[in-house]
Amino acid sequence: MLNKIILMGRLTRDPELRRTQSGTAVTSFSLAVDRDFKSQSGEKETDFIDIVAWRSTAEFVSKYFTKGRMAVVEGRLQIRDWTDRDGGKRRSAEVVADNVYFGDSRRDSADGGYAPSYSAPAPGRSNPPVSGHSDFAEIGEEDGELPF
């Protein structure tokens, strides 16, 4: 059986870090995730998905993510049954996050926070050799066809 979800969207509010009675960190937030298609009226629709993260993932999210940041969440779908204040039976779907990654760079984020990014080498410049693997040579476009 498989229960795996990967979402990319923007936080709709700042994460709320709480602790259980035993001291375990837990945070909750929601993601606004655009659908891949437009409605009949031509509008892009958005789903608002509740996320919960535990332990070190919860602490990481509460420390580095704020409303408006793009996040990639990897986790599983969980359905919870609960009773509201009036005694009515309710059901909620949420994603339990296993991993949360930055989905934007620092300059793209709404709050200007830090996010690691990768920069490709400038055209015509090769990457420096990886430590211990300097005997590999980069194949440039001028070398013709690839040997495989």
pLDDT digits (tens, 9 = 90+) for 1-57: 999 999 999 999 999 899 999 999 999 999 999 998 888 888 889 999 999 999 999
| Whole-angstrom distance, CA of residue 36 vs CA of residue 144 | 39
Q: What angle do CA 42, 43, 46 make, to 5 degrees?
A: 145
The residue ranges of every structural domain in the chain are: 5-119
Confidence bin at 65 (pLDDT 50/70/90) = very high
pLDDT digits (tens, 9 = 90+) for 84-104: 999 999 999 999 999 999 998
**Per-residue confidence (pLDDT) for residue 93, from 0 to 100:** 95
Confidence bin at 108 (pLDDT 50/70/90) = low
**Per-residue confidence (pLDDT) for residue 41, from 0 to 100:** 87
**Per-residue confidence (pLDDT) for residue 127, from 0 to 100:** 43
Q: Is the pLDDT of residue 113 over 50?
A: no
Beta-bridge partners for 28? 16, 52
Please report, to the nearest 10 degrees, the dihedral formed by the alpha carbons of residues 61, 62, 68, 70 taken in order.
Answer: -10
| Whole-angstrom distance, CA of residue 105 vs CA of residue 71 | 11
Q: Is the pLDDT of residue 129 over 60?
A: no
- Spell out the CATH class of 5-119: mainly beta
Residue type at 13 in one-letter notation: R
